Each structure stands twice: as C-alpha cells, then as structure tokens.
Amino acid sequence: MKDPNIEHIRHTLAHLLASAVLEIYPGTKNTIGPAVDDGFYYDFKFPADVKLSDKDLPTLEKKMKNNLKKWTKFTHKEVTEKEAKEIFKDNQYKIELIEEIAKKKEKITLYTCGNFTDLCRGGHTENPAEDIHSDSFKLSRVAGAYWRGNEENTMLTRIYGLAFPTKLALDDYETMRIESEKRDHRKLGKEMGIFTFDEDVGPGLPLWLPNGTAITDELEKLAKETEFKGGYVRVRTPNIAKESMYKKSGHLPYYEESMFPPMEYEGGKYYLKAMNCPHHHKVFGAEPRTYKQLPLRVAEYGTCYRHEKSGELFGLMRVRMLEMNDAHIYCTEAQFADEFRAVNEMYMHYFKIFGVEKYIMRFSKHDPKRLGDKYVNEPELWKKTEDMVRNVLIESKIPYIEVENEAAFYGPKIDVQVWSAIGREFTLATNQVDFAVPKRFDLTYKDSEGKEQTPLCIHRAPLGTHERFIGFLIEHYGGNFPLWLAPVQVKIIPVGESHHAKAVEIYDELRKNLVRAEVELSDEGFGKKVRQAKVSRAPYFIIIGDKDLAVGKVTLESRDKGQIGQLDHKEIIEKILTEIKNRI
Amino acid sequence: MKDPNIEHIRHTLAHLLASAVLEIYPGTKNTIGPAVDDGFYYDFKFPADVKLSDKDLPTLEKKMKNNLKKWTKFTHKEVTEKEAKEIFKDNQYKIELIEEIAKKKEKITLYTCGNFTDLCRGGHTENPAEDIHSDSFKLSRVAGAYWRGNEENTMLTRIYGLAFPTKLALDDYETMRIESEKRDHRKLGKEMGIFTFDEDVGPGLPLWLPNGTAITDELEKLAKETEFKGGYVRVRTPNIAKESMYKKSGHLPYYEESMFPPMEYEGGKYYLKAMNCPHHHKVFGAEPRTYKQLPLRVAEYGTCYRHEKSGELFGLMRVRMLEMNDAHIYCTEAQFADEFRAVNEMYMHYFKIFGVEKYIMRFSKHDPKRLGDKYVNEPELWKKTEDMVRNVLIESKIPYIEVENEAAFYGPKIDVQVWSAIGREFTLATNQVDFAVPKRFDLTYKDSEGKEQTPLCIHRAPLGTHERFIGFLIEHYGGNFPLWLAPVQVKIIPVGESHHAKAVEIYDELRKNLVRAEVELSDEGFGKKVRQAKVSRAPYFIIIGDKDLAVGKVTLESRDKGQIGQLDHKEIIEKILTEIKNRI
C-alpha cells in the first residue's frame, strides 16, 4: 500500500464527519467540506432546535471513529443534473451547487462510502478504514460561517477537525498550537510595548512603541553593517512619486488595486510608493554608468504602503505599511551568479544569527508557453537566468524546490520560507531576478568596449519587512529576545538603599556604552523589585547586595540560564559589551 | 551725529540710483525701489531703444557718486492726489501707485534730494553726502522683473546694488558671496553625488544618493547616541493618518494649505503627515501614564510632507519632504526648566561638534491682548512658561533676543539661528512649548496623589531636518566634511601594482571596522590616481610605495593639513577609528 496523500485523508474525514452529523442530527443539511492546511471542516445547516457547541464534539468524534471501521471502499458514479437534484431535493445548498456545475457543463459525480453519499469531485483515500489511523484526527472547534463566505447569505455552523498522518504528528501540531497561542505576536506585542494601532492613524498602520523601535533599530543596524561589508551603498528615497513614475514601472495600471489611491496635486496625481524599485532605478539612472561601477548594490530600509483589505489585516503579519530591508543589485550577466550567491550567503548569515534552523527556498520559474503573455518574451534570458539560479542553489547546497509557472512577469523568483522555533512556517522574503524593468527605465551602462548595455537587476530583501520579521521573531523567541535585540538588555537591582550608588555607577557605565540598561531605585522591597524587573524579560540582571559589596563584586543572573555568579563589575560590563557586539 | 540706520542708507541709495538713471537715460520711467537685506534695488521701464546690461553699471555708479556729493538734505511734502498725478503724469506706474494710496486714504508724500523727487513714504538718512561712504556701496547686477511681481504685467529692468555701513563690510560681504557661490549646496550636492531630483518623483522631493545617505546616516547615528544618553526613547510612526487625527490636532482645517491633499480611502480621507506631533501624542496616549514615567522623551527621525509652492522650492533649503530630528518631551511643570535646559545643552553640544561659533536664540512671546484669539487663553501658563524659558536662557548664558507677539498658538517659541563658517545666517530649528495640544488629545498622567493631570510638551528638533541641515553643512564645510561625516573617509593609493596587496590589506581592515574606505587599484599612473582620489574630498589619503614598504610603514596625508608622515599601518587605523569615534 502506498502512503496515502494527507490531503485525501483530510477530505475523506470531512465526508466521515458529515456522515456522523447526519446520523446524530437528522434533518441537518450538509453543504461543503474541504481539506485545509491542518485538517478539514464541514459547514452544516442544523435544524432550528439544534445549537451545536464544542461540548458536542466528543460524541461526533466517537461516531466518526465507529463509522470509519465500516468505510473500506469509496465508490463513485456520474449522474445527470435531474438525477442529482432528485437525490438532494431537500437540500437547497446542494441544489445550488448542482445547478452551478451543470451550467459550467462539468460532470456531476457522487461519492459513496459506508452509508454516506455526497456530491463531490473526488480525492479520497481508497480504503479509509485502513488508510486512516483513528487516533490521528480529532474535532477541534465549532464556528459560524456564511454560506459561500458571503455575509448576505444564511449563517451556517462550521465544524473544524485536525488531521495528520500519525498520532505523533497530531500531538506535535497541538503542542505547537498551544505554544504559538502563548507566543502570539499580537498578545506579546501589546504586553511588551512593542507596537500599537490607533484608530485615528488607521488600520494596518502600526506605531512602533519604544520597545519595538529598539528592535527595528537593531535590525537596521545589523542590515547596515552586513550590507556595508557586502559592498552595498545606501540611499533614501521619498515615500511618494508622480503617476508617470508608476506608469513607467508598470505598477500602473496593473498593480493599482494594491496601491493607495492617489493625491490630486498640482494638476497631476501623486501615489504613495508600494515598492522601492522604481526609486532605486532612478538612483541608478541619476548619473551615467560604466561597467567599472557594476555591480552597484543600492540598499534602503524603505517604507512602502499597500492596500490590503481591512478584513485581511492581521497584527504585524498583514499590514498596510511595510518597512522593507530592500536592495537592488545592478550587474552584468557575467556578474549575476556571484551576486546571487552572495545574496544567498547573506540569508545563511542571518539565519545563523537568528537561530533559524529549518528553511527552504521556493524557486518559481516561467512557463515557456506563456512567454509574451504572462512572462516577458525573452526565452534566452529566462533559460540563462533560471539555469544560473539553479546552479547557485545546488552549489550552495541550499534546500530548495522548483515550482513551474509562478515566476514574476520579469524574471525568476525565490520565496524564502522559514520555520520558527516552535515549527510554524513563515514566508519571510522574496528575491527576484529582473531583466525587463531596467529597460523600461532606460537604465544603461557602458561596457568595456563603450557600448550601451542594460544591466540585470536582483531585487532582494533578506530580512523582509520590519512588520513581518518582528512578528516572526516575537513568536520565534517567545518574547525572550537575545541580548543584542532585547528592548531592555540589563536590569540592575540594588537590594537596598545602601547599594544604590554602586547600581547607578554600573548603570551609567552601561548607558554610556549605549546599552539599554535600567536600574530599580524605588523603595519597594527587594522581592518586588526582582518581580518587576523580570517582567521586562531582560536577558541579564545585575544584583547588588551586602554580600556582593563585601567582596567587591556584584551578582550576574541570566534570564535563560539562571544565576551566573559573583563577578567584578568591570568583567560583567566587558562580557555584556562583547556579547552585544557579537550578537550572541 | 548718530550712526545712520543701514536700512535708511540703502533706501537713500535706491533714490540716488534712480536719479542717476533718469539723468543718463531720459525718458525712463522709474517705478519702485526698496532697501533689501544686502543693499537695494530699483525697477525701471527704459525707453525701447535702451538695452541695459551689467557693463553699463560702472557709468551709473560713477554718476551716483557724483550726485551723492550734492545730496546734503532730504526734504518732503504732502500733496493731493491731483497734484501728485500732475507731477507724474508721464509715468503710468506712479499713477497706479498714487491711486492705490489715495484709495487707502493714506498720505501722499514726495521726497526730494538733490535734483531728484520721488513718490515715497520716507525713511532716508538725513544728510546722505555725510552719512554714506561713497566706497561702501556698488551696483551689482541687472535683472528682469515683472511690474509688481505679476507675470501678466510688463517686464521691467531691475538694477541691484549692494550697500553696507563701511567699505570693509562691503568687501567682507562680497568675499562671502563669492565663497557661498563656490559652496552652493546645489552645485556641490550634484558634484559630490549627495542628492538629486527627478521629474517622475516630483519637485521638492530629494532622492538622497549614496554619498548623501552616508551623511544622513551619520547624523542619525549622532542624534540617536546623543538622545539615548539624554534619556530619550525612540519610536517610529506611519507617514499617513486619517483626517480625524489632524482635526484633533487642529492641523485641519487651519494648516490644510500646508499639507498635501488627501487620499480618498475606505470612505474616509488619509493625509500625509505634515508634523510628527500628533503621532507622538498617540504614543504617549497608548498606555496609562503616571508621574513616575515622566519626563517621557519620545524621539523619531520622522519624515513629513508639506506643500510648498513650486516657485518657492530651493534645492535642499525649501523642499516638500522633511526628515526631521524630532522629539516631544512630556513633563510636569516642575520638570520643565530642567528639560528645557537639557535641550539647550544638546544644542550647544551639537554646535561644538559642527564648529558653529555664532548663534542666537530668538525667543518669541505671546501678546496678552491677543489671548483667546491668536493665543490659547491661559494667561497664567503663558507667564509661567515664558518666565521659565527666559530664566533658563539667562542661566545658560545663551545669546538670545525676545520678540513680542510671535509665539505659536499653543506656547512660546524659540527659533535657533546660526551662522555658517563663511558668515551666512540660517534658521535651523524651532523649539516650542506646548500647553494646549496635549489637552486636545486627552493626554493625562496620574500625579503622586492619583489625580489626573495634563503634561506640558516641549517640541524640539536641534538638527532640524536632514534637508536643511545638510544644505547648511555643505556650505559650512564647503564640501570638505570632517572625517566622521565624509562620504568617503579614506582613499588608499598604492603607487604601483607591487603595493596592491598591502593596500587591500589596509582597505579590508578599515572596511571591517565600518570605515568608508576606497582603494585605487586601477592600472593608471600614480599621478592620475592621486588626482582622481582627491576629487572624492576624502579627509585622509594613505599612500603606499617602495619607500614605505622598505621601512614597513605607509604614508598618511590629510586633505586639510597636508602630509602627516610615515606611520605603521596599525597606528593609522587606530588613529582613524579614534577620530571617527570622537567625531573630531
């Protein structure tokens, strides 16, 4: 028996759930039940007297498991519209679906297993009783859902289930879910004073509070240093530009839906920038270029604005303002592979710093049949750049998958996916090769023979946007940021008033060295001061009491490793400065 | 004889110029001739056959000096509209002026000196022949100007003159003018690759090129370090907000003309922010505050957008995008004086770093008669805060002047004026005390007795905006930025190929330490490499030749001080890093 497809298992379980519901609650209309990322759901219209809640789920689950034993084979048959309507004559939802399928002249098929038959396109396991472990799924919750997602339609009851290939995988997933709720970036972001939203500013537009800004600033510092050492130069460009700019770049009209609406100004239109690229192209074009200046690597932590539907906004993960770790590398074809390799190495460098152990690059390619339509018509360049990208990925031993027909209009694309410490997947960043847009902006350089050439351009943003990356980091670290990133790095706690002078001395020394230190000089009791200090999640606590001063030392405690011991205060400062500098 | 008023001298010279023009070019119509900041001008309608150019100025100047000897006394008389019109019947410009004066029911007066009579309100020196040194003024240039500045009117010829109390002052001014032309920030900004404008981005919206961004980034680093040590926290806020925000702040409708027009979005209006204050108030209001958290000093290099008329845009000095060294200090009344003093000390700290030797603070106060109208009606708070401001200025021994009736609506204001190295005056920054707006935003803190209080707010921006401050610095340094600010800090020049290895070793070491070093590895001759290197205006050049390697050293040369000598290369790196760190 070949390993059954997890999506087929999930889809089968949706059927099984419907069978259980119909047996326990006769008169219920079943509607639609698909597989989803972590399991399945099914939407029902229950009889008016049934009010389903989470406490009914164990009974349903038991019924599913009983039925599963009898589900040994799926059968299916094609029927006419008339036949189908006769079978589902009491279910107006299925009637609506049948009419739609008929209208599109598609086949109408019924799938049956055990005593249950559903209108369905197929995609199940062959022998559910054998293919599905009865302890590898469970019903998780009940929610409301409008018929077909339209809020003008009837409200239905949705039952969600989780399903994985094995019980172990299900348990792992549930552990991760509980952990990710504890680490929810919206919850921790508020508790830790990292960001806020304000209704007078507008939805999807985060205000970074002092603790969040400490993090954004450290990330920018890291990016600046890394990019400086990588031979990048920096620029700063306005957040707005004229309509003509975005017509030239092709954002207008094609991308208009994702942009904020224009400002009517001086007889023309100005738009908030949704991408930094056109601005960087203008920097490249600001002076005549020769091959001696290439590769030119133009970096900016640029703030862009994009329209996202208000219903789709989600904490820092989906926002309307994006501070992007952006750069555009202008290079010759001969330089491309080295530049692309260096970009990948920069990713690896960052992954190491942030302790990202699992990642994959999703390499999206063009489809030769769609050249000149979905993709710019440069068959040679597509082949050449896709080969170069693949070669670099192989040489650099980076895990990757190739995806057909998902490239950008102007070149191959790499999406970088990473997993947080608790195993959740995030898409962090996108790299793109661009061999079309530089031409639209008339960007050229003189080659060694004095001939005008168009450069290739690599769009890259390894740290993604502050918004999404910090959203990821909050979960990844569970709020316990490493020393160099922590909003409060060191808390200094004198036991009593006689230890204040020493505490202030250390505090001053740390602050002078730009360490985010805080000192607890209140007249509260020592225990309370320690509890207050721990709320800050500072990685280090320096405690000063009589026993310390007696031996001319102070006590260092680590948030993560507990007590480190009595040390000379100069040693501690040295240790802290070194760890910050090395970002460990 | 009391020292004659320089404005009176300049105004008198405008008359003297008109007398000379009318004598040499009969049939010319004289129109208007005021005193200006560095002298005077007069606008004329010459007969059709006269085409005046700069080469005619010496003749006119000579005639003026001759006439001056005879100008020993100004007389004046009041005339009726009819009399005035009779006298100027051939001059339609004067007729227009006379009719306007008559309409406003003002006195019509004629002033006469020597053989020349003009329609004039007065304001001359009593005895020009004695009061004016004939070598303390000169005619400077001829330009076109529309009658009354309206481009639909006749084009006139404007003759400009320079005038100062003494020849020495005139010479100094001319030297400064020549120097400031050489140092023109638009000219140097282009030559040095500091900034550019692009018509697809829009007028008044600078793009900071790599060399300019090196400077903006160093200034931000300085501000961040200084503010960190001053106990500030940092935030980042969006560039846009909803209409309701600016209604609350009072920017709408009163300040609407200075804002960009709105974007119609999701059934409401969004505006580009013109000020950071409302956003910072939202940060203050994001959580409940107690007196223990005050003073709260909220800093951001925030980018604002303001409408300026396109005709008034001028390089970096008047722009539509402003990256502002902003902060708002929320404090109690008892904390105000210390906070305000600390802000002044921060100014002094910066002036020292930038070698600004001459500065003055212009302290603008309210007018008690305009309370409740031009000024928020808080007579007590006005008195108290103005007294506190004055006391701090006196205690801190800061040169200042008091100006009546020029405060902001919500509190006293300080404009900081500085003089560049060549003696030109710039208004760099404004500090404001604000005791009205925090109330509009319902900002409160709990005092030590648990009572809700409204904080005072100090708006401050010692480094002004990047745009204006860097415009000032380009002139101030004449493009020769000090080491820590210089876009290229060190140029390394190996004499020949056998010195490349050592050059690269030093280069790598400097870059690793984040020094903006460049190395000249081309196969050009040594002389050409040196010339190319000097174009960069790098403060240091490291030269490596046989004679250096023979003794295991390299040669250090300073842009400003010439050859420093042979040094061990580790010593040089140490010296450079120390100077950068200390910003000397």
Query: CA A369 → CA A53, A333, A404, B508, distances in Å?
Result: 51, 24, 11, 48
Q: How far apart are CA A367 and CA A432, in angstroms?
A: 16
Whole-number pLDDT of residue A457: 96
Indicate whether A18 belongs to any domain.
yes
ipTM at complex level? 0.86
Together in a domain, A146 and A28: yes
d(CA A426, nearest CA chain B) in Å: 24
Q: Give the predicted TM-score (pTM) of the model.
A: 0.87
B561 contact A CB<8A:
no
Together in a domain, B37 and B163: yes
Chain-centre distance of CA A301, in angstroms?
Answer: 19
Please classify residue B82 by burial: count the beta carbons closer than 10 Å to its beta carbon, then call 0-12 exposed, 13-18 middle and 19+ buried: exposed
CATH number reported for the structural domain that contains residue A272 in this entry: 3.30.930.10
How many C-beta atoms lie closer than 10 Å to residue B565's C-beta? 8
In total, chain B counts a number of residues equal to: 584
Mean pLDDT, all residues of chain A: 95
Residue A4 confidence (pLDDT) above 80:
no
H or E element, residue B340:
helix B333-354
Read off the pLDDT of residues B500-526 as tens digits, 9 standing for 90 and up: 999 999 999 999 999 999 999 988 899
Indicate whether B450 belongs to any domain.
yes
Q: pLDDT-derived band of residue A3, with 50, 70 and 90 as boundaries?
A: low
Whole-number pLDDT of residue A184: 94
Query: CA B323 → CA B256, B326, B475, distances in Å?
Result: 20, 9, 19
Whole-number pLDDT of residue B372: 85
Question: B467 with B321: CB under 8 angstroms?
Answer: yes
Together in a domain, B513 and B458: no
Beta strands B517-519 and B490-494: pairing type? parallel
Reference B541, options B557, B525, B518, B563; nearest CA is B557
Helix (H, G, I), strand (E, B) or coil at A175: helix
DSSP state of B287: S
H or E element, residue A298:
strand A296-305
Q: Is the peptide bond before B253 cis (omega within 30 degrees of 0)?
A: yes
CATH number reported for the structural domain that contains residue B568 in this entry: 3.40.50.800
Whole-number pLDDT of residue B3: 62
- Give phi and psi for A262, each to the nearest 5: -75, 165
B237 contact A CB<8A:
yes
d(CA A54, nearest CA chain B) in Å: 36
Read off the pLDDT of residues B325-375 as tens digits, 9 standing for 90 and up: 999 999 999 999 999 999 999 999 999 999 999 999 999 999 999 998 889
Q: How far apart are CA B516 and CA B493, in angstroms?
A: 15
Reference B32, options B50, B16, B14; nearest CA is B14
Residue A209: closest CA among chain B residues belongs to which residue? Answer: B235
Q: How far apart are CA B463 and CA B430, in angstroms?
A: 10
Indicate whether A518 belongs to any domain.
yes
Together in a domain, A85 and A230: no
CA angle B416, B419, B421 (to 5 degrees): 145
Question: B94 with B117: CB under 8 angstroms?
Answer: no
Read off the pLDDT of residues B436-455 as tens digits, 9 standing for 90 and up: 889 999 999 999 999 999 99
Beta strands B540-544 and B490-494: pairing type? parallel
Residue type, A536: S
Instruction: Give the residue-averaged pLDDT of B146-167.
Output: 94
DSSP string, A72-133: ---EEEEE-HHHHHHHTTT-HHHHHHHHHHHHTT--EEEEEETTEEEE------S-HHHHS-
Together in a domain, B160 and B195: no
Beta strands B400-403 and B359-364: pairing type? parallel
Q: How far apart are CA A429 and CA A418, in angstroms?
A: 9
B213 contact A CB<8A:
yes
Together in a domain, A417 and A272: yes
A·B CB contacts under 8 A: 173
Together in a domain, A26 and A107: yes
**B477, B500, B533 - which closes a domain:** B477
**A452, A477, A502 - which closes a domain:** A477
Residue type, B237: T
Whole-number pLDDT of residue B523: 87
Q: How far apart are CA B327 and CA B560, in angstroms?
A: 36
Read off the pLDDT of residues A529-577 as tens digits, 9 standing for 90 and up: 999 899 999 999 999 999 999 999 999 999 999 999 999 999 999 999 9
Q: How far apart are CA B422 and CA B432, in angstroms?
A: 29
Quote the domain boundaries for residue A494.
490-581
Query: CA B252 → CA A122, B244, B346, distances in Å?
Result: 60, 9, 32
Chain B residues with CB under 8 Å of A321 CB are: 238-240
Whole-number pLDDT of residue A1: 42
Give me the helices (H) in A355-435, please.
Answer: 379-395
Whole-number pLDDT of residue B232: 98
Contact B229 A511 (CB under 8 A): yes
Q: pLDDT-derived band of residue B469, with 50, 70 and 90 as boundaries?
A: very high
Task: Choose the closest CB to B207 out of A213, A272, A283.
Answer: A283
Count how many domains chain B has: 3
Together in a domain, B522 and B430: no
Indicate whether B175 belongs to any domain.
no
* Start-to-end C-alpha separation, chain A: 49
Instruction: Give the residue-averaged pLDDT of B119-137.
Output: 94
E-strand stretches of B283-412:
296-305, 321-331, 359-364, 400-403
Together in a domain, A198 and A319: yes
Indicate whether A359 belongs to any domain.
yes
Contact A514 B228 (CB under 8 A): yes
Contact B213 A235 (CB under 8 A): yes
Beta strands A263-265 and A207-208: pairing type? unpaired
Q: How far apart are CA B392 and CA B390, in angstroms?
A: 5
Interface test with chain B among A260, A263, A291, by most B beta carbons within 10 Å: A263
Residue B253 confidence (pLDDT) above 90:
no
Long-range contacts of B100-104 (CB under 8 A, 24+ apart): none
Structure tokens that stand for A577 in this block: 């400065």
Q: How far apart are CA B571 and CA B582, in angstroms?
A: 16
Residue A250 confidence (pLDDT) above 90:
no
B210 contact A CB<8A:
yes
Residue B100 confidence (pLDDT) above 50:
yes
- Give phi and psi for A208, each to the nearest 5: -80, 120
Together in a domain, B117 and B154: yes
- Angle of the B500-512 helix axis to the A210-229 helix axis, nearest 10: 170
Most confident region among A211-225, A302-316, A361-375 by mean pLDDT = A211-225
Read off the pLDDT of residues A254-295 as tens digits, 9 standing for 90 and up: 889 999 999 999 999 999 999 999 999 999 999 999 999 999
Together in a domain, A426 and A360: yes
The answer for A 481-540 residues in CB contact with B (under 8 A) is 511-512, 514
Encode A305-340: b = buried (16+ Cβ within 10 Å), e = exposed. Answer: bbbeeeeeeebbeebbbbbbbbbbbbbbeebbbebb
Indicate whether A378 belongs to any domain.
yes
Question: B142 with B52: CB under 8 angstroms?
Answer: yes
Indicate whether B182 belongs to any domain.
no
Q: pLDDT-derived band of residue B1, with 50, 70 and 90 as boundaries?
A: very low
Beta strands B296-305 and B233-234: pairing type? parallel
Give me the helices (H) in A230-332, please.
Answer: 243-249, 251-254, 277-284
CATH number reported for the structural domain that contains residue A20 in this entry: 3.30.980.10
E-strand stretches of A147-215:
155-163, 195-196, 207-208
**B170, B205, B229 - which closes a domain:** B170
Indicate whether A56 belongs to any domain.
yes
Read off the pLDDT of residues B21-43 as tens digits, 9 standing for 90 and up: 999 999 999 999 999 999 999 99
Query: CA B344 → CA B291, B341, B392, B459, B514, distances in Å?
Result: 24, 5, 9, 12, 32
Together in a domain, A472 and A495: no
Reference A270, options A244, A237, A236; nearest CA is A244
Read off the pLDDT of residues B168-207 as tens digits, 9 standing for 90 and up: 999 999 998 999 899 999 999 999 999 999 999 999 999 9
Instruction: Give the residue-averaged pLDDT of A9-27.
Output: 97
Mean pLDDT, all residues of chain B: 95
DSSP state of A422: T
Q: How far apart are CA B53 and CA B141, in angstroms?
A: 8
Q: What percent of chain B has pLDDT over 90?
A: 91
Chain A residues with CB under 8 Å of B262 CB are: 263
